[in-house]
Chains A and B, each alone.
Chain A
């Protein structure tokens, strides 16, 4: 085993913690989850392929662990909805207001809006735009189809646009 686990731990803890924080939405939860992820990594170190970046490997473990936690919390598992229903809902909304997000350059407000999203939208958004996971990776970890991932991302973004759309008072 040629990995210097301690050094790797120190160097990628921040990213792992960030992912847990964005997925779970609480500092304490994120600390626990990040710790658990590293413990799992430590235990399965012999399965680690040094050809792959260590950070990516641990992030993968953390991602799965957080999804597990979310599933368990929801008892019956996180429900990502019926794909067809979500498609219909997504298409019925107009694209206008795309710039709602852009207009809100104050990231904190966007972040708060993301944190307030229902889990089924928040998780894919965090995975896609924080974790930079591909649609296929997200589909695999959530156990849904790739197209469904696209729909959830679109619906999530539509919800964000609604939340962040400037109110009439602000427009004046």
Chain B
């Protein structure tokens, strides 16, 4: 008689054989000593497994049970969000009305303005890396940002991956060692004048505070000066940062100038790089020569002398009498070009629709083109009545459908993104908001360091892709749920996705609340993506504790 298979014996030992087969094995065991002992050994083995796997439930630390968010709480949250949105839009309206058009780009509540500001800040920071002081400050700021980001990541996702994250931090800390420290000399006079005499030379960077700061000698590094009255007649080899009631710069400056004050006067024969100025009245004298760009904002700006590249000015009144090697761009109520102004590039004047917005006096020459853009909102057409609108929405839908189906086909796990009711929605929206806001900021900061530059660029790219994919994820989710509820059956993922995407598109285009829905969809989708990536990347199934 042949013995039962190993599988049969194993299942028999686990009492898992069907009755008929079990009876057969039982019969066999009665006459086969070898199989009897096998079964006994298998049963002992099972007992050993039970002992090994046993978990002493009494040793588990029971965390307090946190009740899941209820619909009521969600309602309250939604109410608060609506009130905040209302306050925000009223505040924005008030600020919009109060801020002169010339400064609208500066309005912190204007998203366009914020993006503009970020871009400008980024461009500025990148262009100023040459200065040793600025560079080391950036390395420090950027480096600690990347470091903090890694540490935060380690804390947030990573009790699971603490080791690798800490390792990355250590590596970064070494890689980000700031350049050899820059020598700094600090001069400070509470009342009275800080004065560098004509023959004196400061070999390092000079930081000076005082009622009056007067630099007649030379500074080999950068100059940072704050006081009521700042006068620089000597030469500065690096960058000049100056702030005061009145700031006068007459010396030769090899780096850039960043200055702010009630009255700002530039008479320097040479500013080697850029001039960034802000103040009530800004005057660039006719002896001045600035080799690169001028970017100024104030109430009254007068620019004479020579500028090597472009001039960008924002002010109530701008007067230009200088030779400009590049283009002139102004945001002003009034722009006057006086002789002997000679602008090699284009003149782009943005302003209000008033009489005499741009005055070009005889003798002033514009080699390029003069374009005037007047800020007047065109009456908005009802976009739902234009074929253009439907055409583009159709294109958007088709593109999103193809992209989404391809994505869901390549990454099937995206079809099963966990979403368990309103609480999950709120949670992912929270994650989404943080990721949406923090990513570009961190990326821009990371770009300031050598090691962070590729990371920053990659993060920005992922951010843009993420915003697009966010809508697709929500579309997929909505579609699957809808098909499960309405059709009561499992449909092909592409069909569910097509339906969901359509619903999302429709909802985001509703009048009045469409924008809010679009925003919410992006938040939730972005958050789900972040959580999904976290789950896929960071969960290690075989981690030993």
**A contact residues vs B (CB 8 Å cutoff):** 5-6, 9-10, 12-15, 17-19, 21-22, 24-29, 31, 35, 38-40, 42-43, 68-73, 75-76, 87, 90-91, 93, 95, 98-99, 101-102, 104-105, 107-108, 110-112, 114-116, 119, 125-126, 128-130, 134-135, 146-147, 149-151, 153-154, 157
Report whether A130 and B45 are in contact in the complex, using a CB–CB cutoff of 8 Å.
Answer: no
CB contact under 8 A between A153 and B60, given known A29-B539, A126-B53: no
**Is there contact, CB below 8 Å, between A10 and B62?**
yes
Q: B52 an interface residue at 8 Å Cβ cutoff? A: yes
Let me know if A28 and B159 touch, CB within 8 A: yes
> Smallest distance from the beta carbon of A48 to chain B beta carbons, Å?
16
Beta-carbon contact of A21 and B420 below 8 Å: no
B65 touches A154 (CB 8 A): no
The answer to whether the Cβ of B380 comes within 8 Å of any Cβ in the partner chain is no
- A to B CB contacts below 8 Å, 6 in the list: A14-B57, A75-B536, A98-B42, A102-B48, A129-B50, A154-B7
**Contact call B536/A73, Cβ cutoff below 8 A:** yes
B49: Cβ under 8 A from any A Cβ: yes
Query: In the complex the two chains form, what is the Cα distance from A39 to B420 in whole Å?
Result: 10
**Given A24-B541, A73-B541, also A101-B160 (CB < 8 A):** no
5 smallest beta-carbon distances between A and B, as pairs = A14-B57, A18-B55, A110-B52, A14-B60, A98-B41
Contacts of A115 in B (CB 8 A): 542, 544
User: How far does the alpha carbon of A58 sit from the alpha carbon of B416 in the complex, in Å?
Assistant: 23
- Apart from A38-B65, A43-B68, A76-B412, what are 5 other A-B pairs with CB-CB below 8 Å? A27-B545, A69-B539, A71-B416, A110-B48, A114-B49
Q: Is the CB of A91 within 8 A of B7?
A: yes
Given A10-B62, A72-B418, decide whether A22 and B53 contact each other with a Cβ distance below 8 A. yes
Q: In the bound complex, what is the Cα–Cα distance between A134 and B62 (angstroms)?
A: 28
Interface contact A114-B53, CB-CB below 8 Å: yes
Chain B residue nearest to A43 in the complex (CB) = B68
Most buried by B among A42, A129, A130: A129
A residues near B41, Cβ cutoff 8 Å:
95, 98-99, 102
Cross-chain contact B542 with A70 (CB below 8 angstroms): no
Within 8 A of A (CB), among B528-543: 535-536, 539-543
- CA–CA, A28 to B516, complex, Å? 36
Chain B residues positioned under 8 Å from A111 (CB to CB): 52-53
Distance of A128 Cα from B44 Cα, bound (Å): 15
